[in-house]
Structure 1
Amino acid sequence: MLGFLLKLIRYVLVVVLFTIINVIFCVFFIFRYKNPKNNYIYSRILSVLFIKLLGVKVEYRGKSKLKKEGTSVLIANHQSYFDSVIFGGIFPDKAVVMGKKSLIWLPIFGWIFFLCGNLFINRKNHSKAMDTMKVVDSAIQSGTSLWMFPEGTRSHGRGLNGFKKGAFYAAIQNQVNLQPIVSSTFKNAIDISKWNSGKVLVEVLEPIPTRDTKVEDIDSIVNIAHSVMKNKIASLDMEIHGVS
């Protein structure tokens, strides 16, 4: 019973705080439209508040690699809406996110996503998708990193889905490194009905260089990235569950 009440209270507090924070930021970002640091400010504040509220312990590894790499295309595994909270604690100070066009219709959050200068892609319209990729090229060339979830859809803890190629085209086209970042699986590892809900491991992996590669190499690079990320997620999951 106590566990149920704690879970309910946390859900209510998350909804209330999320709404209040988003309304405040929505107004704030109108005056900072497309400022490259908007995502950093928003994601860090959201991450700190909700990680503590939900009683989750998050351990970040390899954060120094992000500063060393500079501009890159960051790719991460995509499990649930909780991703934004977990990865928010490691989000770079100058990066934009590529998201589905449908995000803009989400009340408040979709508006903030837009005001932060993030990019929407319409996968159903090839010509518009190509126009978006031109904007991506301009952003990367100006020194802004790109964050993408190459799976495209949330896995809900069922393992790493296959990758779409947009992030890889962007990296090859602009000859910047791919920077894989992975988190351990949330499912069966987090239980917010407990005071200490569980632990998540997040790790920045070694960059995958694309310098001197061509579009013809994309399948090979996709396979390398998928294999490296899948193996690391499995390793982190074993560590979380105490399997040696």
Structure 2
Amino acid sequence: MRTIITVLFAVLGIIFCFPYHLYLKQLAKKDQDKAYIKAQKLVKGFFGAVMFLTGCKRTVIGKENIPADQPVMFVGNHRSYFDILSCHNAIDMPLGFMSKDNIKDIPLLYKYMDDIGCTYLDRTDLKKGLETILQTADIIKSGHSMMIFPEGTRNKGDELLPFKDGAFKIAQKAGCLIIPVAICGTDKCMEANKHNFLHSSKVVIEFLEPVDIRGLKPKERKEVLDAIPGKIQAARLKNLPMIEK
């Protein structure tokens, strides 16, 4: 029943909010920032309602590590579609995501993603992939934070998948801080369940200390970036007992 109610709400919400998307599209022609803020509020409300219906209970750690005076790039492990819902609503700032381009196969959904500044990565075309990296860096330069999942796909294993280099190239080109994010328990909301049925679950999101690669020499930068997956995995394992209580 939980799954049916949540899915119905999500589908009907996407459909019936579409006129608001059209309004935001027109507003953006006059005032891009105002349209962006309104879109963020709409998405936050929608995500919050979905998580409430699903029964996900979120614990957030380390918000003091997020600077309030500058855009950053969040880099997290990827377990579930609920990573996006949980992280977006855990952060008190506008936030876009880099997604795989096949998300556009879902009718209407990507329209709202456009509204909050998401970008779409085509991993089969190197030229288009580079264009997306530069586009994402430009969004951060313009003052809007972005979140990226460098594993590239939802990971069902105990160990993190290798991080793809593109995420860190974005931070380098944007000249921004990197905030590592350890995500724990989101897969228990859906992907870890039989037939992907929705279940109530505890979710822990931890924002780790910022990583600054600005001004580092290539060798130093590589050492700093190579350490990020280990930090995320250590925090994730530390927080696992919190979702099993």
Give the TM-score range, shorter chain: 0.7 to 0.9
- Backbone CA RMSD of aligned residues: 2.7
Residue range with higher mean Cα deviation, 220-229 or 132-141: 132-141
1:238 aligns with 2:230: no
> What are structure 2's unaligned runs of at least 5 residues?
29-34
Could you tell me which residue of structure 1 aligns to residue 6 of structure 2? Answer: 14
Q: Could you tell me how far 1:135 is from its partner in structure 2?
A: 1.7
Could you tell me which residue of structure 1 aligns to residue 179 of structure 2? Answer: 179
Cα distance in 2, alignment partners of residues 131 and 13 from structure 1: 39
Q: Could you tell me how far 1:157 is from its partner in structure 2?
A: 5.3
Cα distance in 2, alignment partners of residues 16 and 174 from structure 1: 39
Could you tell me which residue of structure 1 aligns to residue 58 of structure 2? Answer: 58
Could you tell me which residue of structure 1 aligns to residue 110 of structure 2? Answer: 110
Aligned partner of 2:212 among 209, 215, 223: 209
Kindly indicate whether the alpha-carbon contact (under 8 Å) linking 2:21 and 2:115 is maintained by their aligned counterparts in 1: yes
Could you tell me which residue of structure 1 aligns to residue 131 of structure 2? Answer: 131
Change (3 A) 1:133 1:214: farther
Kindly indicate whether the alpha-carbon contact (under 8 Å) linking 2:98 and 2:118 is maintained by their aligned counterparts in 1: yes
Give 3-state SS (helix, strand or coil) of 2:185's partner: coil
Aligned partner of 2:24 among 32, 49, 65: 32
| Higher helix residue share | 2
Residue range with higher mean Cα deviation, 11-20 or 121-130: 121-130
Q: Deviations over 1:110-167 (max 9, x none)?
A: 2322343311121211111222222223222211112111111001354322111111
Could you tell me which residue of structure 1 aligns to residue 156 of structure 2? Answer: 156
Identical counterparts, % of pairs: 21
Could you tell me which residue of structure 2 aligns to residue 77 of structure 1? Answer: 77
Give 3-state SS (helix, strand or coil) of 2:110's partner: helix
Cα distance in 2, alignment partners of residues 125 and 69 from structure 1: 35
Q: Deviations over 1:59-113 (max 9, x none)?
A: 1122233243621111112111222222232145333211111111211222322
Q: Could you tell me how far 1:223 is from its partner in structure 2?
A: 1.8
Could you tell me which residue of structure 2 aligns to residue 6 of structure 1? Answer: none
Q: Which amino acid aligns with 2:237?
A: A
Kindly indicate whether the alpha-carbon contact (under 8 Å) linking 1:157 and 1:186 is maintained by their aligned counterparts in 2: no
Aligned partner of 1:198 among 198, 201, 206: 201
Could you tell me which residue of structure 1 aligns to residue 95 of structure 2? Answer: 95
Change (3 A) 1:128 1:189: closer
Residue range with higher mean Cα deviation, 23-32 or 98-107: 23-32
How many residue pairs get aligned? The number is: 232
Could you tell me which residue of structure 1 aligns to residue 31 of structure 2? Answer: none
Give 3-state SS (helix, strand or coil) of 1:164's partner: coil
Q: Deviations over 1:181-239 (max 9, x none)?
A: 2221345688999xx93321111111111111255555423321101000000000033
> What are structure 1's unaligned runs of at least 5 residues?
1-8
Q: Could you tell me how far 1:36 is from its partner in structure 2?
A: 3.1
Give 3-state SS (helix, strand or coil) of 1:110's partner: helix
Q: Which amino acid aligns with 2:141?
A: Q
Cα distance in 1, alignment partners of residues 149 and 38 from structure 2: 19
TM-score (norm 2): 0.83
TM-score (norm 1): 0.83
Aligned partner of 1:221 among 213, 220, 224: 224
Change (3 A) 1:66 1:229: same
Give 3-state SS (helix, strand or coil) of 2:90's partner: coil
Kindly indicate whether the alpha-carbon contact (under 8 Å) linking 2:24 and 2:39 is maintained by their aligned counterparts in 1: no
Change (3 A) 1:58 1:146: same
Change (3 A) 1:96 1:198: closer
Give 3-state SS (helix, strand or coil) of 2:12's partner: helix
